[in-house]
Amino acid sequence: MQKIKTALLSYGMSGKVFHAPFLEFHQGFELVGSWERSKQLIQLDYPNVKSFATLEEVLQSDADLIIVNTPVGTHFEYAKRVLLAGKHAVVEKAFTTTVAEAQELMSLAKEKGLKLSVFQNRRWDSDLKTVRKVLAEKTLGELVEAEFHFDRYNPILSPKGHKETANSGAGILKDLGPHIIDQALCLFGFPQSVFADIRITRENSLVDDWFDILLYYPEFRVRLKASFFVREANPAYVIHGKKGSFLKSRGDVQEDELKLGKKPNLTSWGTEAPGQEGLLHTEIDGEIIKEKVPTLQGNYYWFFDEIHQSIVNDQPEPVTAQEGTHVMQIIEASIQSCEQKRSIDLSLII
């Protein structure tokens, strides 16, 4: 299997937890190292890789693919430099801070003939895969509404300065928002319009930490919510159709297991514990049923496998720059909606 030499632009939680373990496990990648500004930590976990002192060293290395997993406010600048250096790029979410930046990166990658993808790993969560399966089976009938939550109980401000200072990349809308916005677009397509409320609820916070976004589709509505003041969790996915309903908790175990240092595999990885099954209550062939739906297996491995196929065999990226741009369009429209206290028509965007 052809190996793709890959470098990271940071080795904090993102690099250590979400990227390096899969790059090591997948036979199609060779992790060459990471840019580390102060602490040299990557060699403690991977002794044969390099700790790069500067971005220039990374760009001048023999890496074919560079993962831009730095703070959101740096994504545009660093991804642009990666592409100009002739390297393929994977950019963490949020893709950029503005739609204009996303469109510029998309155009540059196309001009250079390079692959550019957004790391929307939550598409490969076990819970979302189960929701997708239920929708594909059409057991709920014609959709009426859906509500997705990404909630936490975390009233304490983050010690990471870039997350709590008022900057263009900070705030829950660009942190947790891209996950559920991307999931909604994957499942339901691009909406006709959007209405949003975005708030600051934590004491002394300078950045948004609560949002409620309503996406308008011709025949149904999708609500997306996130908050840092949810001690008792709501179901992460609630979908109501004219025949029935499906409820599913946010139960994917991958992040927690990666934080514990567990290594991914292709057999049991991403398997939720018993008791996390979704609830289906609907009517099928005239019979009312209420039953638990087994959760499908999740695995972020498949994002990396599709990136490999994209580069080696010129296949589409697992998450395209265009899809990343669509998420940014929803985010920008949500900010505009909140400021103007009105719904924003999206019909001219697509």
Structural domains of the chain, with CATH: 4-121+303-315 (3.40.50.720), 123-298+330-345 (3.30.360.10)
Q: Is the pLDDT of residue 349 over 80?
A: no
Q: Tell me how far apart the 2 most distant CA atoms of the chain are, in Å.
A: 66
Q: Is the pLDDT of residue 223 over 80?
A: yes
Q: Is the pLDDT of residue 202 over 70?
A: yes
What is the band of 350 on the pLDDT scale with cuts at 50, 70, 90? Answer: low
Tokens of 316: 């589409």
The predicted model gives 176-193 an average pLDDT of: 98
Q: Is the pLDDT of residue 163 over 90?
A: no
The answer to whether the beta carbons of residues 334 and 342 sit under 8 Å apart is no
> How far is the C-alpha of 197 from the C-alpha of 195, rounded, in Å?
7
Instruction: State CA 305 to chain mean position distance.
Output: 17
Q: Is the pLDDT of residue 105 over 80?
A: yes
pLDDT tens for 7-37 read 999 999 999 999 999 999 999 999 999 999 8
Peptide bond into 226 cis (omega under 30): no
Closest C-alpha to 113, from 75, 81, 83, 80: 83
Tokens of 208: 């948004």
Q: Give the length of the chain.
A: 350
Cα-only R_g, the chain: 20
> How far is the C-alpha of 220 from the C-alpha of 316, rounded, in Å?
30
In the block, tokens 């009938």 appear at 141
pLDDT of residue 179: 98
The answer to whether the beta carbons of residues 224 and 178 sit under 8 Å apart is no
The answer to whether the beta carbons of residues 91 and 116 sit under 8 Å apart is yes
Q: Is the pLDDT of residue 337 over 70?
A: yes
> How far is the C-alpha of 42 from the C-alpha of 36, rounded, in Å?
8
Q: Would strands 193-199 and 344-345 be described as parallel, antiparallel, or unpaired?
A: antiparallel
> How far is the C-alpha of 206 from the C-alpha of 88, rounded, in Å?
35
Q: Average pLDDT over the chain, rounded to whole?
A: 96
pLDDT tens for 255-310 read 999 999 999 999 999 999 999 999 999 999 999 999 999 999 999 999 999 999 99
Q: Is the pLDDT of residue 166 over 90?
A: no
Q: Terminal CA-to-CA distance of the chain, rounded, Å?
A: 38
Number of CB atoms found within 10 A of residue 155's CB = 13
pTM reported for the whole predicted model: 0.96
Number of CB atoms found within 10 A of residue 160's CB = 12
> How far is the C-alpha of 97 from the C-alpha of 91, rounded, in Å?
12
pLDDT tens for 149-160 read 999 999 999 988
Percent of the chain whose pLDDT exceeds 70: 100
